[in-house]
Structure 1
Amino acid sequence: MKIVADENIPLVPQFFASIGEIQTYPGRGITPEHVRDADILLVRSITQVNRQLLEGSRVRFVGTTTIGLDHVDTEYLNECGIAYSNAPGCNASAVVEYVVGTLSVLADELGFELESKSVGIIGRGAIGSKLEKALTSLGMKVLSNDPPKENEGEEGLYPLEEVLQCDVISLHVPLVEEGEYQTHHLMNHQVLSGLRGDQILINSSRGDVIDEAALKQRLQEENPPTVVLDVFNGEPVVDTELADLCHFVTPHIAGYTLDGKVAGTEMVYKSFCRYLGLPERHKLGQFLPEPPLKKLAFSSGADPFWALHTAIRTCYDVRHDDSNLRRTLRLPEAERGKAFDELRKGYRVRRGFEQVKVVLKGGKVELLNKLSAVGFNIQSK
């Protein structure tokens, strides 16, 4: 059995070597020739899996180690009888940590307290629902919008117009090109022109959810909002003019904790084993290395505000990824796309908050609850 995989999917040999021969290629460079005699195809979001790629191949299973399926033509796969699997929720915690970490830094730089802000979450899926819970526990007022879920009877959701009035707007929707629940250019000229200068917009979902031309226009107007982008319309190419107008830009790494990435590999491996009726011989715990940071300890005299933000930023500080991307945007235009992909390929080992034990003396219940809500492993003394 032959397995073709994106070279940046972690732990593919560890999980799949006993199943078949593995060949890896850059995700953007996987071609019909590469998959023609393959039985299994393993991809991330940057590989478009469709008729053009698979027609004439013997591929019978496609696994994408990502939450979404918008890069996979599932209609074509169903038509051809090709099984497929994704990894829903695998990096939800990582994206939540990205948003929380970004808000922590913005609170300092813009001069506000988290509890003073309302947050509008657009998309209450695996990520949005987890983010809603975390931010609510941090004392923020959260309004979520998700028309498909509302149509299914889910409660506690709000109209888009109301959510768009919140101080912070965070996007967590799949890219849907057409239909009743289209999200392509959901943030269009009309929506963006209505954003206030005291609002914050964070996009860690898909680049095409925002009309970048309209966003660039709005950011050049009077009293622009504060914008943080982790995803872009033309990846791996980034509009440098737009980037210069944003507060933070990062290279599509919001979900890039090691824990989230390898969880995606494990989920696809398990799906494939079920597909073939094979025993699951490997588990994630066999392969994860020890985290570089295992414990943070605060004394009973620690200021709760300082302790919370110190813990968050010790594990994730958006300014590091922002500066790395901005350095590549100063390169000659022909080199920027490759540099964007290299940032992702060579991304540092970032571990999830849950890998860090926070020791807190004095039992400050409110602080304990907040640290626990954003994912830390709490130990009170």
Structure 2
Amino acid sequence: MINIAYDEKIPYIEEVIAQCSKQSQLPLSAHAFTGTDTPAEIIEKAQLATARVLIVRSVTKVHADLLLNSAVKIVITATAGVDHIDKNYLKKHHIALKTTHGSNANAVSEYVLAVFLAYLSARQKSLENNSEHFSIKHILRETSVAIIGCGNIGSRLYATFEQLGVNVIGYDPPLLKKALAHQSHHAKLERYSSLAEVHGADFITFHVPLTHTGQNATYHMCDERFLTALRKKPWIVNTARGGVVDEIASIAALKRGLIGGIVLDVWEGEPKINLAVLNKTIFATPHIAGYSKEASLRTAKKIFDHLLACVKDDRFLPMTQKSGNQSSPSLTARFHPPQSEQIKPQKLSNLSLWNPVTMQLERDVGCPLDCEDDDSLINWLVNFCLQSSAVPALTSELKKYHATNPQTNKSSKTNLSEIINPFQRLRQAMRQRHEWSTLSLLASLDENSAHPLTTKTRCIIKALGFK
């Protein structure tokens, strides 16, 4: 028997554990705890006294106080970032750490792309106000985008912006050092630029982990010194971690005219955010850039893979206690749909990614299958952007999609009215939605709340033409 303690707010986690037990033919004893978005969240020590596996979200701080005298041998986090985990403690006590990095890469990329479309719209309008008339294609050629952090998300964005014909500037000293060390001809060394080139970009987006120490520490890397060196009044976008961008310094830079705007999805001190900072942003969202159904499914699949490997590991159960046919077909294959022909969509509703797929994908496993056709959406958007009417056309198609394919929300254990903090309440509302894409999610936000955070969230929709 392997005991598991898990955060019940992780989407599909019960199904993942049940299917893992079925696949491995080993009994798993799972005990849920309710992770909250407040530091006061505590997991009962009794749960960890026997739990070999701990599955958490970013709201659970995994450190010595939590793990002392526990039986935990592996920590699985449903996140890419690990700033909520004391990695040194885990290493010292021989506790394995597994992440779900890359699971929300599509969702975050789509979020940044949506913001960039809004930037293009604003820039085109500004040129028209100055009696200058340029097509979107021309503006794209004259626009430079700096991507700070070229990992799972940054590399996707790099490829997308390249397809758009934008001048892309990649900045990632650790990855550049690794590429140079391997001396591989496959390493795309031309992707990496200098900080001086970043300072000359029109649009700067951050995709780095939050680190406080080391040569390439990222805490407040966008600080007063960084902002003062900027040359083109760029938009600053942070979907990485609160603390990467110095919010106070950014507001000061905005007042001085050093930057053209700030877009924040992550915040210093969240969920208690600085309303003075909020009121100065162009767009603001409650840490939901990575929230989409697709991202949830990818996360579930990665947790399943980690958990299945864990229960077959000698460190968790002696070989003499293992049972069942170890050569049975892996459930992992069932998380992938059959290979299909390359999609050449004419309308948004024709994309397999956007069609109603819940029943088809949730059959069998209870945890919907992963989708390998995500890039077709991005490619379609890229092609749309090359038209002069890119933003209105995109808006029109999104509205048509939502008119013909209304989304239904599954019931949730969380009563939103019980959540006092507005940041937490809005974030939880986003977590309960089941749109497949982040673009879809942004297009269908609830507009009933008058809280400034909700108002700012709606700005993205309005910038893209939604009413």
Matched residue pairs, number?
335
Q: Matches of residues 269-288 of structure 1 in structure 2 within 5 Å?
A: 269-277=304-312, 280-281=330-331, 283-284=334-335, 286=365, 287-288=367-368
Bigger Cα Rg? 2
Structure 2-normalised TM-score? Answer: 0.64
Which of residues 275, 299, 304 in structure 2 aligns to 1:240? 275
Matched, 1:183 2:269: no
TM-score normalised by L of structure 1 = 0.78
Residue identity over aligned pairs, in percent, reads: 29
- SS of the aligned residue for 2:62 comes to coil
- Structure 1 residues 11 and 313, CA gap change in structure 2 (3 angstroms): farther
Deviation string, structure 1 residues 13-40 (Cα, Å, up to 9, x no partner): 1110233324131244243535343222
Shift of the 83–303 alpha-carbon distance from structure 1 to 2, 3 Å rule, reads closer
Query: C-alpha separation between the residues in 2 aligned to 1:127 and 1:276?
Result: 30
Amino acid in structure 1 at the alignment position of 2:224: H
Contact 1:37 1:59 in 2 (8 A): yes
Aligned partners of 1:57 and 1:2: how far apart in 2? 12
Which residue among 60, 70, 73 is the counterpart of 2:86? Answer: 73
**Given that residues 301 and 370 in structure 2 are in contact (C-alpha distance below 8 angstroms), is that contact kept between their aligned partners in structure 1?**
no
- Residue 437 (structure 2) aligns with: 351
Q: Counterparts of 2:17 and 2:386 in 1: how far apart (Å)?
A: 48
Q: Is the 8 A contact 1:168 1:200 kept in 2?
A: yes
Q: State whether structure 2 residue 39 is matched by structure 1 residue 31.
A: no
CA RMSD of the aligned region, Å? 3.3
Mean CA deviation greater in 69-78 or 128-137: 69-78
Are 1:5 and 2:17 an aligned pair?
no
Q: Which 4+ stretches in 1 moved above 6 angstroms?
A: 294-298
Given residue 336 of structure 1, which amino acid in structure 2 is its aligned partner? Answer: P
Displacement of 1:309: 6.2
**1:166 aligns to what?**
201
Residue 264 of structure 1: CA displacement?
Answer: 1.5
Match of 1:84 among 76, 93, 97: 97
SS at match of 2:5: strand
Aligned counterpart, 1:228 = 263
- Structure 1 residue identity aligned to 2:335: L
Alpha-carbon offset, residue 224 of structure 1: 4.1
Q: Quick check: 1:310 aligned with 2:409?
A: no
CA deviation string 1:165-197 (max 9, x = no partner)? 100101011111101110011011111233356
Secondary structure of the residue aligned to 1:94 is helix
Change (3 A) 1:158 1:284: same
For the structure 1 residues 303 and 147, does the alpha-carbon distance in structure 2 shift closer, same or farther, using more than 3 Å as the test? closer
The corresponding residue for 1:264 is 299
Please say which of residues 219-228 and 123-132 is displaced more in the overlay: 219-228
How many Å apart are 1:104 and its aligned residue?
1.0
Q: Where do residues 106-125 of structure 1 align in structure 2 (5 Å cutoff)?
A: 106-111=119-124, 113=136, 114-125=140-151
Q: How far does the alpha carbon of each residue in 1:238-264 deviate from its partner, in whole angstroms, 9 at most, with x for none?
A: 211101101000111111121112212
More strand, by proportion: 1
8 Å Cα contact 1:60-1:82 kept in structure 2: yes
In structure 2, the CA distance between the partners of 1:187 and 1:281, relative to structure 1 (3 Å rule), is: same
Question: Distance between the aligned counterparts of 2:49 and 2:422, measured in 1?
Answer: 31
Q: What SS does the corresponding residue of 1:41 show, helix, strand or coil?
A: strand
For structure 1, the 5+ residue unaligned runs are: 317-333, 355-381
Provide the residue aligned with 1:335 in structure 2: 421
Counting only pairs closer than 5 Å after superposition, residues 124-203 of structure 1 correspond to structure 2 as 124-152=150-178, 153=180, 154=187, 155-156=189-190, 157-195=192-230, 198-203=233-238
Change (3 A) 1:180 1:338: same
**Counterparts of 1:275 and 1:40, CA distance in 2:** 8
